[in-house]
A and B are shown apart, each in its own frame.
Chain A
């Protein structure tokens, strides 16, 4: 459904952020994109919706070549790609509802959006989504009054109201505590399943990625060096992606808790605290970067 072919990004400074990345994302598949800082993860997802212009190569979404689109056609295609950000990227002085409805901007004309006269269907969908992410009581709160986890839920609702085919997710949990991180990852993955959405999730936290996604792609210095199932990752894989380090804690933790957690997750009530949080060796992961 989404296909990247020989995607290259060279910045004007000469930095080669992406060196011929080829990747196929089937409909409904959630991919965890891991790799050290500066590996090109953020550049990769921004080259897909052309917030960053790729230097060469092709990106096709549902058969439409994106890299050559004129501005108007590009805006129409951007509606099909919802984006979720590390620091939430909500417009802080707008209300929760305005932030969610801003996901509809690609569908309505300027004056309708200016007077906040969105179609009834969009408003209904906004309320449904806010209910789904547990924020229906917050519609008129200003975005900067919310906590980190709540803001990211608004960010998720804003991405989903675009009616996307794919979610581009950039470090969704990097600013959140471990428990909220899990809840947000679970929410994103559940919503993708409910709606048959594909997703590319950039994520630093290898253990968290292993718990929630079905396919992991490892990026190092702009090249894909791993593409496989979460449980096929070994210490050698991580060394290949990140470099030399003692990976035993990360791997053992993933092996031990992985299965129980995946079976466990859907049965748990939404929003309930996980019974136990495996110790994630954040210092070690942070130390890599």
Chain B
């Protein structure tokens, strides 16, 4: 039997282990030791002032008590005004953001845009993504002054980086054969977008827009802290005045609205497939 003869000459290995992620044993061990040393050193530098912790407990407890007794009444007019302003900012900035994101997203998809357009649109996206909302808000408050306009500008700008990038990536992932087929009919570029790209990316675009609506509402509370309008300003004032009951009322309102928005967007996205 030739097979048996072969087996006698070169016995098959009987042990198998998954190859390690890092091949070199020296590198693997030294990386592990470095990580352990860093962790130990990091723990060593943590300073806890237990006296201050003790002193702060009172204030913390007052906050917890305030949360137990949310006070919707005393400043209801302010809360209502702030929430409404935040909602207006959210919807406006999301709508403006989507309108600007779609063309930029098309331009940032390598499979349908020529290289110069691609680089330009990717540049805008990178710029929009490079700063956190609060930093953009500080900048826009300095440019446009205090108030919701700066907030809307901030959130619209941030929406572009998010939506255009994810839309472009979805377009790049779309089926090339469908694009090819529509191109082969002699269609123009806008027709190609309408017949081959739009049907493929529309469900995701709607889902992302709903998701961004969520994010923009939450961010609208944050940018308010630096003076860009919305519920954030009211929240900040209540903190400064130690009116924790009102603070709790505002936070609870935000939580409820975010949960409702989450639920609604989940339902809409589920229906799209």
The chain A residue with its CB closest to the CB of B187 is: A105
Whether A78 touches B186, Cβ cut-off 8 Å, given contacts A83-B181, A92-B178, A93-B200, is yes
Interface presence of A57 (CB below 8 A): no
Interface 1/0s, chain A 58-91, versus B by CB < 8 A?
0000000000000000011111010101010111
Interface presence of B73 (CB below 8 A): no
| Contact indicator A113/B194 (Cβ below 8 Å) | yes
| Contact indicator B186/A75 (Cβ below 8 Å) | yes
Whether A90 touches B181, Cβ cut-off 8 Å, given contacts A105-B191, A110-B191, is yes
Residue among B181, B182, B183, B188 with most chain A CB within 10 A = B181
Whether A79 touches B196, Cβ cut-off 8 Å, given contacts A51-B180, A85-B177, is no
Question: A79 contacts which chain B residues (CB < 8 A)?
Answer: 185-186
Interface presence of B184 (CB below 8 A): yes
| Contact indicator A102/B187 (Cβ below 8 Å) | yes
Whether A105 touches B200, Cβ cut-off 8 Å, given contacts A91-B195, A94-B195, is no
Whether A89 touches B178, Cβ cut-off 8 Å, given contacts A75-B186, A79-B185, A110-B188, is yes
Q: Which residues in window 120-139 of A have CB below 8 A to B?
A: none
Question: A85 contacts which chain B residues (CB < 8 A)?
Answer: 177, 180-181
Q: What is the distance, in angstroms, from B36's C-beta to the closest C-beta of chain A?
A: 46
Interface 1/0s, chain A 98-117, versus B by CB < 8 A?
10001111110010011000
Interface size on B, residues (CB 8 A): 21
| Contact indicator A51/B187 (Cβ below 8 Å) | no
Residue in B186, B188, B199, B203 whose beta carbon sits within 8 Å of that of A91 in the complex:
B199
Question: B191 contacts which chain A residues (CB < 8 A)?
Answer: 105, 110, 113
| Contact indicator A51/B196 (Cβ below 8 Å) | no
Interface presence of A49 (CB below 8 A): yes
Residue among B178, B190, B196 with most chain A CB within 10 A = B178
Interface 1/0s, chain A 235-264, versus B by CB < 8 A?
000000000000000000000000000000
Q: In the complex, A113→B195 CA distance in Å?
A: 9
Q: What is the distance, in angstroms, from B79's C-beta to the closest C-beta of chain A?
A: 44
Question: A78 contacts which chain B residues (CB < 8 A)?
Answer: 183-186
Interface presence of A158 (CB below 8 A): yes
| Contact indicator A91/B182 (Cβ below 8 Å) | yes
Question: B175 contacts which chain A residues (CB < 8 A)?
Answer: 89, 92
Question: B182 contacts which chain A residues (CB < 8 A)?
Answer: 91, 102, 105
The chain A residue with its CB closest to the CB of B178 is: A91
Q: Which residues in window 156-214 of B have CB below 8 A to A?
A: 175, 177-178, 180-188, 190-191, 194-196, 199-200, 202-203
The chain A residue with its CB closest to the CB of B190 is: A110
| Contact indicator B199/A102 (Cβ below 8 Å) | no
Q: In the complex, A46→B200 CA distance in Å?
A: 23
Interface presence of A162 (CB below 8 A): yes
| Contact indicator B200/A102 (Cβ below 8 Å) | no
| Contact indicator A90/B180 (Cβ below 8 Å) | no
| Contact indicator B200/A91 (Cβ below 8 Å) | yes
Q: In the complex, A89→B184 CA distance in Å?
A: 11
Q: In the complex, A81→B184 CA distance in Å?
A: 8
| Contact indicator B196/A91 (Cβ below 8 Å) | yes
Q: What is the distance, in angstroms, from B86's C-beta to the closest C-beta of chain A?
A: 35
Q: What is the distance, in angstroms, from B185's C-beta to the closest C-beta of chain A?
A: 5
Question: B183 contacts which chain A residues (CB < 8 A)?
Answer: 51, 78
Whether A94 touches B199, Cβ cut-off 8 Å, given contacts A75-B187, A106-B186, A114-B194, is yes
Q: In the complex, A155→B202 CA distance in Å?
A: 23
Question: B190 contacts which chain A residues (CB < 8 A)?
Answer: 110, 114
The chain A residue with its CB closest to the CB of B201 is: A93
Q: What is the distance, in angstroms, from A209's C-beta to the closest C-beta of chain B?
A: 22
The chain A residue with its CB closest to the CB of B199 is: A93
Whether A75 touches B188, Cβ cut-off 8 Å, given contacts A94-B195, A94-B199, is yes
Question: B178 contacts which chain A residues (CB < 8 A)?
Answer: 89-92
| Contact indicator B180/A162 (Cβ below 8 Å) | no
Q: In the complex, A110→B196 CA distance in Å?
A: 14
Interface 1/0s, chain B 146-164, versus A by CB < 8 A?
0000000000000000000
Q: What is the distance, in angstroms, from A39's C-beta to the closest C-beta of chain B?
A: 20
Q: In the complex, A110→B188 CA distance in Å?
A: 8
Can you list 14 A-B pairs with a CB-CB distance of less than 8 A? Answer: A75-B186, A75-B187, A78-B186, A79-B185, A83-B184, A91-B195, A91-B196, A91-B200, A93-B200, A94-B195, A106-B187, A113-B191, A162-B185, A168-B184
Query: Apart from A113-B187, A113-B191, what are 12 other A-B pairs with CB-CB below 8 Å?
Result: A49-B184, A51-B183, A78-B186, A89-B180, A90-B178, A91-B178, A91-B195, A92-B178, A102-B182, A105-B191, A106-B186, A110-B191
**Which positions in B face A, CB cutoff 8 Å?**
175, 177-178, 180-188, 190-191, 194-196, 199-200, 202-203
**Which positions in A face B, CB cutoff 8 Å?**
49, 51, 75-79, 81, 83, 85, 87, 89-94, 98, 102-107, 110, 113-114, 155, 158, 162, 168
Task: Please list the 7 inter-chain residue pairs (A to B) with the smallest Cβ-Cβ separation, ordered nearest first.
Answer: A106-B186, A105-B187, A78-B186, A89-B181, A93-B199, A89-B177, A83-B184
